Amino acid sequence: MKKIIFPLAAVVLLLASAFTFKSAQTWKIADGYSVAFSSADPSGVFNDLKGSIAFDENDLGASKFEVTIDVNSINTGNGMQNKHAVSKKWFDAETYPTIKFTSTSVFKGSTGLMTKGILDMHGVQKEITIPFTIEKTSTGASFKGNFEVNRNDWKIGEPGGTASEVIKLSVSVPVTK
């Protein structure tokens, strides 16, 4: 009986180790992040970003970004414009208090690193792809990306008018291990 149990236990351990899942390095979002948006009108920043980042440059398939922005943290540099931005006419922060990005994949594209995922904003979920870079530092790293969104795709504001429809976003997120 002992002759059967030991080889069986060895086979079970070998099979279990073959199906061990790798996980990417978990990073903590550090102070000093920036989520800036610009257009002919409006431009500004969001001051409240939270989330989790798992990233492994050698195993992009195990990497994942999940970040949330508090809509009420918008700052255009103009108090009246900030109130208008969070009102029902634009972001409707009372109904949709957050903007959320959840990656579905991270991969190397022809122009560098990319993350594809769902941007959930103003009650609309759309798949987008964001190009990004990672710059390693002595205490961690910094993820940086630039991309554009059309506010009409998320039903923000009225189409047309004086406000730009295409908004440029520049994101810089320092992280530590």
User: What DSSP element (H or E) covers 70?
Assistant: strand 64-70
pLDDT at 23: 67
pLDDT at 158: 86
Radius of gyration of the chain (CA): 21
| Tens-place pLDDT, residues 55-68 | 999 999 999 999 99
pLDDT greater than 50 at residue 54: yes
Domain ranges of the chain: 23-176
Q: How far, in Å, CA of 174 to CA of 27, rounded?
A: 9
**The model's pTM:** 0.85
What is the 8-class DSSP label of residue 87?
S
Q: What dotted CATH number matches 23-176? A: 2.40.128.110
pLDDT greater than 90 at residue 4: no
Calculate what percentage of the chain has a pLDDT beyond 90.
Answer: 77
Q: Give 112-116's long-range contacts (Cβ < 8 A, gap of 24+).
A: 113/60, 115/63, 115/65
Mean pLDDT score, 62-81: 97
Helix residue ranges per DSSP H, 49-134: 79-86
Q: How far, in Å, CA of 175 to CA of 84, rounded?
A: 32
